[in-house]
Structure 1
Amino acid sequence: MENEAALALSPLLVPLLWSVPLLVVHILLQGVTATKELGTDWNAGPRDDDRKASGILAGRAERASLNFRETYPVFIVLALTLAIMGETAGWAIFGAWLWFVCRIIYIPLYLAGIPYIRSLVWVGSLIGLLIMFLTALF
């Protein structure tokens, strides 16, 4: 019962819950940019012809979305693990918010095609996950 109370009150659930709209933003960006290029008939249809968006912005939106989805399951597992463990402050929260903020900043940097800074922000998000992981271990 104590773990249930800790989970219900965990501040780790805030960035976890806000990560859902962030996922939706990625999906919408990918869909909107591809639809702009390929048309609404393509979007509404079954997409049997295997056409893919080939424009720069649509490609970047797709790659940014794929990149997000590579680390998203890890973030979910770590946030829930730490919440269940009762880690509700300090490094656990810092790591979660670092991942989340970096993932937000990453989107416009990737869409704009800004090198190096985008990569540093990506590394920042991984550092957030590493902090969460190490907090869970120790």
Structure 2
Amino acid sequence: MLTRAGIGCWLLKSAVLPDQLLPGWRPGQTGDLIRCVRRSYRLDLVGPGDPAVLWCSGRVDPGVHAVGTVTGVDAGALEVQVRWELLADPVPRGALLADPVVRTAEVLRMPAGSNPSYLTPEQWAVVRALSPTAGRT
């Protein structure tokens, strides 16, 4: 079972790209978004201040598109609120699959899994290294 020690950051998925989530959202800008999550023991592990990444799935530009910080959790409504910063240089799925540490990430092994997913501390370090703007967090 997952514990807080095994979490580098939370990974929240979107089936649409960032410009559809927040029209006019530009790289380097922040935006607050609420993501729906599934009721599970993981929801009890999510807390304000936790780092998060926004994973956009699909055929066009899948990968990590934003990084952020959890600002709130509403377990009753099954929602997590995050203040995101859109990356100028998203980390493409292909780059993550090519890395021996990240290619084992849950989102790559089980793409149809539900929110919230996660990256281990080691996987989160790789994502930050692959994206200069993600590395600032």
TM range (shorter): under 0.3
Q: How does the TM-score come out when normalised to structure 2? A: 0.27
Q: Which has the higher helix share?
A: 1
Q: Whose strand proportion is higher, 1 or 2?
A: 2
Larger Rg, first or second structure (1 or 2): 1
- Provide the TM-score with structure 1 as the length reference: 0.27
